[in-house]
């Protein structure tokens, strides 16, 4: 930066104004496009917020090479191929990364009097001149394919951006301060274990009673939430989902969707085929496939796959040994072109009109609605008993409980996919906490604390249910560990959390995060009540008396009946009706959650940032036969 002495200011550059001839006229004059095709593209541009060249390319009216040539003529500039003539690494010192990313440029060459800047947009270059103000050396544009610009932005500034991606969230809202404190966590965990063991040795009956009462209180909290959500759903006439979208005319924005990939061998071709079914204008769609620098398996898979122009690949440089999905999302966020940022997982199958619903709802919603969460479902619900139960659980959560949480005005714990954000709000919050293994749920809490609102959107994304027991335990342990991390981060200062959220939503956080996790961890204490059916006296009988035990028996029967009712209602729609006979087996399914909870507790102490990767592409995938969102599959 010293060679140009950049001074960011509001002053205009002293460079003479440049008048740009319309690119459409240039292409018609060169015989590259017919006047009727140009008229068609111009008509499209009236309702979609995209450069004319991108529209013509996406409509198949012209190739990118001709558009770049016309852009060079429009800007009175030369073209270049950065693959043949890449910028030297020291060029990174000529312009800051923030300016290059904001205006889509990269410094390319220099001499004593000029700096040549690669750009794919004369308009973006003009905005760069205005931002820089007067310079000792004049800046000149060189027209280059935007994919090459992105690649060399990453090459020149990757290390700097990767370091920033790990620490975008303010430290007081992040769990990264836990790094290097493993010994302290181990000491506290050992002390807690010794205290529990001592209490069980010296006062076993009362110790078990206290543990049982704690488990019962959290069971009451979660059951109350489920009952309220089911009541809201039934009272709404079994129409928890919004009516068909009234697509009001407005100029559609550009949308970027991030798709993190890690060690994916089977999924790439299927992913591209599914996303190609999206009906949103491709000139406005920017799908970014995110790879880790050391992930040679996925890189080789992508190389064998032909990507459409609206897809790009970003490689995240290694930095500090941290390899997590949120760090990858933070890194790729800087390269996004859209004003709306979405997230899909590698195995996702979104509905074809999902993006239209997103942009329409953002257009009609209030300004403080900055996040839209779609509904998740599974396309392999017949592959195994475990997959069937997982689908039932997801149906309960996404069709009934999550809409109930939203209707009750509680903090919405976001899912990891089918999320869409207003970019300005996402960047204001610092993106995702790169160290949190459930970055989605954490972001949901941070959005609420900053006064923003999340809505559920009636659009379904189908994904692959984990169908193998140990893979399920690994995935669920990561989720539970992340829930605990999120809870401890935001409960560092309970008073501040209470002040930010208010009492109602504060109690919602206790129910959603603390009670949900403790239900799995404390399940063996609740299972101990089954011993009474075999004539074994329970410690609660000895400490609190038989009448209390009878009351608890009635409570347990009620909560189990509630769970059965919730499951049956959740899968009573046409798409999942075949799962109703499996609802009574859910009590056996949830025992795996206890195994996952103890694995999560161990990792919370020893490896809080460890990302236990879920393998995709295991199950046979069948066409989910896309239907209206949520009506047949849901309740």
The predicted-structure confidence for 416-439, as pLDDT tens digits, reads as follows: 899 999 999 999 999 999 999 999
How much of the chain, in percent, has pLDDT values that exceed 70? 92
Q: Are 471 and 387 in contact (CB under 8 A)?
A: no
Check whether 8 has a pLDDT greater than 70: no
Q: Using CA atoms, how far apart are residues 365 and 116, in angstroms rounded to an integer?
A: 43
Structure tokens at 413: 């714990």
Q: Using CA atoms, how far apart are residues 223 and 516, in angstroms rounded to an integer?
A: 10
The total of other beta-carbon atoms located within 10 Å of residue 238's CB is 14
Q: At what angle do helices 469-490 and 439-449 cross, to 10 degrees?
A: 30
Query: In the prediction, which pLDDT does 537 show?
Result: 86
Query: In the prediction, which pLDDT does 228 show?
Result: 98
CB contact set of 197 (below 8 Å; sequence gap of 6+): none
Check whether 623 has a pLDDT greater than 80: no
| CA distances, 391 to each of 309, 348, 416, 533, 614 (Å) | 35, 15, 16, 32, 17
Check whether 559 has a pLDDT greater than 80: yes
| CA distances, 434 to each of 27, 352, 412, 418, 609 (Å) | 46, 30, 20, 19, 9
C-alpha radius of gyration, the chain, whole number: 28
- Which letter, b or e, does each residue of 142-170 get, where b requires 16 or more Cβ atoms within 10 Å of its Cβ? bbbbbbbbbbbbbbbbbeebbebbbbbbe
Q: Using CA atoms, how far apart are residues 516 and 411, in angstroms rounded to an integer?
A: 14
Check whether 239 has a pLDDT greater than 60: no
Query: In the prediction, which pLDDT does 613 show?
Result: 76
Check whether 308 has a pLDDT greater than 60: yes
Digit-coded pLDDT (tens) for 373-415: 999 999 999 999 999 999 999 999 999 999 999 999 999 999 9
Q: Using CA atoms, how far apart are residues 621 and 378, in angstroms rounded to an integer?
A: 10
Query: In the prediction, which pLDDT does 155 show?
Result: 96
Average pLDDT over residues 272-286: 93
- Give the torsion through C-alpha atoms of 535, 537, 540, 544, to 10 deg: 100
Check whether 628 has a pLDDT greater than 50: no
Average pLDDT over residues 245-269: 82
Q: Using CA atoms, how far apart are residues 483 and 114, in angstroms rounded to an integer?
A: 53
Reported as a pLDDT band with limits 50, 70 and 90, residue 246 is low
Check whether 10 has a pLDDT greater than 60: no
Check whether 359 has a pLDDT greater than 90: yes
How far is residue 401 CA from its own chain's centroid?
Answer: 20
| DSSP assigned state of 15 | S
Query: In the prediction, which pLDDT does 632 show?
Result: 54
Mean pLDDT of the chain: 89
| CA distances, 390 to each of 381, 387, 563, 593 (Å) | 8, 5, 14, 11
Check whether 629 has a pLDDT greater than 50: no
Digit-coded pLDDT (tens) for 148-157: 999 999 999 9
Reported as a pLDDT band with limits 50, 70 and 90, residue 516 is confident
Check whether 519 has a pLDDT greater than 90: yes
Average pLDDT over residues 565-594: 95
Check whether 40 has a pLDDT greater than 50: yes
Where do the domains of the chain lie?
Answer: 23-165
Q: Using CA atoms, how far apart are residues 27 and 322, in angstroms rounded to an integer?
A: 48
Structure tokens at 591: 């025992």
Reported as a pLDDT band with limits 50, 70 and 90, residue 631 is very low
Q: Using CA atoms, how far apart are residues 170 and 430, in angstroms rounded to an integer?
A: 7
Q: Using CA atoms, how far apart are residues 288 and 338, in angstroms rounded to an integer?
A: 11
Q: Are 451 and 425 in contact (CB under 8 A)?
A: no
Pairing of β 340-343 and β 255-260: parallel
Check whether 306 has a pLDDT greater than 90: no
Reported as a pLDDT band with limits 50, 70 and 90, residue 104 is very high
CB contact set of 125 (below 8 Å; sequence gap of 6+): 75, 103, 105, 117, 119, 139, 141
- β-strand partners of 289: 259, 313
Q: Using CA atoms, how far apart are residues 159 and 153, in angstroms rounded to an integer?
A: 11
Sign of CA dihedral 498, 501, 505, 509: negative
Check whether 449 has a pLDDT greater than 80: yes
Check whether 245 has a pLDDT greater than 60: no
| DSSP assigned state of 583 | G
What separation, in Å, do the N-terminal and C-terminal C-alpha atoms of the chain show?
Answer: 60
Check whether 445 has a pLDDT greater than 90: yes
Q: Are 388 and 579 in contact (CB under 8 A)?
A: yes
């Amino acid at each position: 930066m010293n060679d140009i002495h950049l001074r960011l200011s509001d002053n205009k550059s002293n460079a003479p104004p440049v008048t740009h001839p319309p690119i459409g006229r240039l292409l018609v004059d060169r015989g590259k496009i017919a006047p009727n095709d140009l008229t068609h593209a111009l008509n499209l541009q009236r309702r979609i917020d995209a450069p004319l060249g991108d529209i013509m390319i996406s409509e198949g009216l012209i190739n990118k090479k001709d558009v770049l040539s016309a852009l060079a003529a429009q800007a009175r500039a030369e073209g270049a191929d950065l693959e043949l003539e890449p910028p030297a690494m020291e060029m990174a010192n000529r312009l800051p990364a923030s300016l290059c990313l904001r205006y889509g440029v990269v410094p390319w060459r220099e001499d004593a009097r000029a700096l040549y800047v690669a750009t794919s947009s004369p308009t973006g270059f003009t905005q760069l001149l205005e931002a820089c103000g007067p310079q000792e050396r004049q800046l000149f544009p060189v027209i280059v394919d935007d994919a090459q610009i992105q690649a060399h932005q990453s090459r020149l500034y990757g290390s700097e951006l990767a370091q920033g991606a790990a620490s975008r969230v303010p430290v007081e809202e992040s769990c990264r301060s836990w790094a290097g404190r493993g010994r302290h966590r181990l000491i506290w965990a050992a002390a807690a274990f010794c205290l529990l063991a001592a209490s069980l040795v010296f006062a076993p009956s009362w110790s078990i009673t206290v543990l049982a009462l704690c488990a019962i209180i959290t069971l009451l909290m979660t059951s109350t939430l489920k009952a309220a959500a089911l009541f809201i759903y039934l009272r709404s006439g079994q129409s928890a989902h919004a009516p068909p979208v009234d697509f009001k005319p407005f100029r559609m924005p550009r949308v970027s969707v991030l798709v993190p990939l890690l060690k994916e061998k089977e999924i790439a071709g299927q992913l591209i085929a599914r996303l190609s079914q999206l009906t949103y204008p491709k000139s406005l769609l920017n799908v970014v496939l995110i790879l880790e620098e050391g992930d040679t398996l996925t890189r080789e898979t992508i190389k064998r796959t032909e990507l459409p122009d609206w897809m790009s690949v970003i490689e995240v440089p290694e930095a500090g040994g941290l390899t997590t999905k949120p760090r990858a999302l933070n890194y790729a966020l800087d390269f996004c072109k859209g004003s709306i940022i979405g997230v899909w997982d590698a195995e996702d199958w979104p509905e074809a009109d999902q993006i239209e619903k997103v942009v329409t709802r953002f257009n009609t919603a209030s300004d403080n609605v900055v996040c839209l969460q779609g509904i998740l479902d599974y396309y392999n619900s017949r592959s195994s008993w475990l997959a069937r139960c997982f689908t039932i659980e997801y149906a309960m959560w996404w069709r009934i409980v999550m809409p109930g949480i939203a209707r009750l005005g509680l903090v919405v714990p976001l899912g990891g996919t089918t999320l869409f954000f207003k970019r300005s709000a996402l960047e204001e919050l610092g993106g995702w906490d790169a160290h949190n293994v459930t970055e989605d749920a954490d972001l949901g809490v941070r959005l609420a604390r900053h006064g923003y609102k999340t809505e559920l959107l009636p659009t379904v994304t189908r994904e692959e249910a984990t169908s193998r027991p140990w893979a399920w335990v690994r995935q669920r342990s990561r989720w539970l560990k992340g829930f605990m991390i999120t809870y401890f981060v935001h409960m560092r200062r309970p008073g501040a959390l209470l002040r930010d959220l208010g009492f109602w939503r504060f109690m919602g956080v206790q129910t959603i995060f603390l009670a949900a996790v403790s239900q799995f961890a404390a399940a063996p204490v609740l299972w101990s009540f089954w011993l009474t059916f075999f004539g074994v006296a329970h410690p609660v009988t000895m400490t609190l008396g038989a009448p209390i035990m009878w009351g608890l028996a009635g409570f347990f029967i009620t909560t189990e009946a509630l769970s059965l009712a919730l499951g049956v209602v959740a899968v009573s729609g046409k798409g999942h009706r075949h799962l109703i006979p499996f609802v009574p087996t859910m009590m056996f399914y949830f025992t795996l959650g206890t195994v996952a909870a103890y694995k999560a507790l161990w990792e919370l102490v020893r490896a809080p940032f460890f990302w236990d990767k879920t393998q995709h592409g295991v199950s046979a995938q069948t066409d989910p036969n896309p239907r209206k969102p949520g009506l047949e599959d849901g309740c």
